[in-house]
C-alpha cells in the first residue's frame, strides 16, 4: 500500500507511512508525490507525478476536512479521480476530521443534514473503504454507501493522562448532557467518577453558558473534561470557569479534534490548565503553552495492517 496526502494534513500522512513501515514486515509503503495548485479562476488542480507508485497499487489517501473545508472536500474528489485514471487498484480514504459532521440532524426547519450530503458526495464507487475518527454522532458512518470504519483515540489519550496525572485525585466531566455517554464510557475505562456540566447553547449565536454541576464534588480534584471537538473554544472557557468556581484544582480539557476557529488567544487566558487534542487537524507549532497534541498515526497504521 502506498500513500498520498491532500493539502490539509501532510504531517500526519508522513507519520502514518512511518508507522506502517515500522510495523509491517516488508516496510515498503511510499508517499506518492502530488502537486496541488490553482488556476487563475480559483479552480483547484491536482497532478500525480509518479504513475508507477499508483498503477495497480492499493493507495491510501489522507485528508482532513478542516478549513478551508469546501476546498479540501473538492480536492479529495479530484485526487480520487486522478488515482482511478492512473489505474490504482483501489483507494482507501482516511478522514481524521470529518468537516460538516456536527450538522448531523435538522436543528431548524429548512436546514440540510450536511453530514449526510458530504457522505453522499464522498461515497465514490472507486473508494474501497473509509476510516473516520471520534465522530460527534456514532450513526454518521451509516450515511456512507461504502464500508466505513469508526475509530477511537481513547487508548492514546488514557496512556498520556496516566503518565501525566495522579488519577487517584481525578474525576471525569462531561461538558453537557449530550456528551454524557462518551464521558461515561471514558470514565469507566479509567475507573473514575463522573460529573456532568449543565450547559446551554444559543443555536443562533453559538453563545455557551455553563450553569451548574451534577454529581460528586470536584473540590481539590483534577477534572478531565471529555469532548469530541473544540470548535470556537467557548465550551472550554465556560466549563473551566465553572469547575474552578466549584473548587477544582486543575482542569484538563480533552478532545480528539482541535478546530480552534477563533484561534487560541482566549483559551490561553482562560481558567483551563491544559488542552489535550490529537493531530487529526494540523496545528501551528508552539501555538499555545496550554496545548498538548497527541499523535494518532498508530491508530490508522494498526487498522490498515489488521
Cell for 115?
Answer: 453530514
Single out the catalytic residue among 199, 221, 244, 290: 199
CATH architecture of the domain with range 154-295: 3-Layer(aba) Sandwich (3.40)
Cell for 29?
Answer: 509503503
The reported pLDDT for the residue numbered 205 is 54
* Of the candidates 65, 84, 14, 27, the residue with the CA atom closest to the CA atom of residue 280: 65
Region label for 216, one of left (φ > 0), alpha (ψ between -120 and 50) or beta (otherwise) = beta
Cell for 187?
Answer: 470514565
**Identical fold, 2-151 and 154-295:** yes
Residue 168 CA: distances (Å) to CA of 72, 161, 176, 191: 43, 12, 24, 10
Extended strands (E) in 144-218: 148-151, 170-174, 194-201, 208-214
* Of the candidates 154, 120, 53, the residue with the CA atom closest to the CA atom of residue 61: 53
Q: Render each residue's pLDDT in the chain as its tens digit; 306 residues.
A: 999 999 999 999 999 999 999 988 777 899 999 999 999 999 999 999 999 999 999 999 999 999 999 999 999 999 999 999 999 999 999 999 999 999 999 988 999 999 999 999 999 999 999 999 999 999 999 999 999 999 999 999 999 999 999 999 999 999 988 889 999 999 999 999 999 998 666 656 566 676 688 999 999 999 999 999 999 999 999 999 999 999 999 999 999 999 999 999 999 999 999 999 999 999 998 889 999 999 999 999 999 998
Residue 301 and residue 109: Cα distance in Å, rounded? 41
Residue 157 and residue 217: Cα distance in Å, rounded? 24
Told to judge if 199 belongs to the known catalytic residues of this protein, a careful annotator would answer: yes
Domains of the chain: which residue ranges? 2-151, 154-295
The reported pLDDT for the residue numbered 210 is 67
* Of the candidates 111, 114, 134, the residue with the CA atom closest to the CA atom of residue 122: 114
Residue 50 and residue 59: Cα distance in Å, rounded? 13
The reported pLDDT for the residue numbered 204 is 62
The reported pLDDT for the residue numbered 306 is 87
CATH architecture of the domain with range 2-151: 3-Layer(aba) Sandwich (3.40)
Residue 207 and residue 106: Cα distance in Å, rounded? 19
The reported pLDDT for the residue numbered 77 is 98
CB 170 within 8 A of CB 223: yes
Amino acid at each position: 500500500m502506498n500513500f498520498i496526502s491532500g493539502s490539509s494534513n501532510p504531517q500526519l500522512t508522513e507519520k502514518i507511512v512511518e508507522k506502517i513501515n515500522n510495523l509491517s514486515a516488508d516496510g515498503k509503503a511510499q508517499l506518492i508525490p502530488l502537486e496541488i495548485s490553482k488556476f487563475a479562476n480559483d479552480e483547484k488542480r491536482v497532478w500525480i507525478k509518479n504513475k508507477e507508485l499508483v498503477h495497480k497499487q492499493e493507495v491510501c489517501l489522507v485528508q482532513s476536512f478542516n478549513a478551508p473545508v469546501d476546498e479540501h472536500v473538492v480536492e479529495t474528489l479530484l485526487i480520487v479521480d486522478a488515482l482511478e485514471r492512473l489505474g490504482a487498484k483501489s483507494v482507501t480514504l482516511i478522514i481524521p476530521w470529518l468537516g460538516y459532521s456536527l450538522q448531523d440532524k435538522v436543528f431548524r426547519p429548512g436546514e440540510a443534514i450536511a453530514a449526510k450530503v458530504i457522505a453522499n458526495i464522498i461515497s465514490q464507487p472507486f473508494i474501497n473503504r473509509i476510516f473516520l475518527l471520534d465522530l460527534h454522532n456514532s450513526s454518521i458512518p451509516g450515511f456512507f454507501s461504502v464500508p466505513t470504519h469508526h475509530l477511537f483515540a481513547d487508548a492514546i489519550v488514557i496512556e498520556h493522562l496516566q503518565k501525566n496525572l495522579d488519577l487517584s485525585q481525578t474525576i471525569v466531566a462531561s461538558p453537557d448532557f449530550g456528551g454524557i455517554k462518551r464521558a461515561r464510557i471514558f470514565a469507566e475505562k479509567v475507573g473514575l467518577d463522573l460529573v456532568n456540566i449543565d450547559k446551554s447553547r444559543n443555536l443562533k449565536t453559538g453563545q455557551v453558558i455553563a450553569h451548574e454541576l451534577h454529581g460528586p464534588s470536584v473540590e481539590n480534584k483534577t477534572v478531565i473534561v471529555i469532548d469530541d471537538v473544540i470548535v470556537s473554544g467557548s465550551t472550554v472557557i465556560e466549563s473551566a470557569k465553572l469547575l474552578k468556581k466549584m473548587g477544582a484544582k486543575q482542569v484538563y480539557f480533552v478532545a480528539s479534534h482541535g478546530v480552534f476557529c477563533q484561534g487560541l488567544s482566549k483559551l490561553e487566558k482562560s481558567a483551563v490548565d491544559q488542552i489535550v487534542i490529537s493531530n487529526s487537524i494540523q496545528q501551528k507549532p508552539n501555538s499555545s503553552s496550554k496545548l498538548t497534541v497527541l499523535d494518532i498515526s498508530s491508530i490508522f497504521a494498526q487498522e490498515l495492517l489488521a
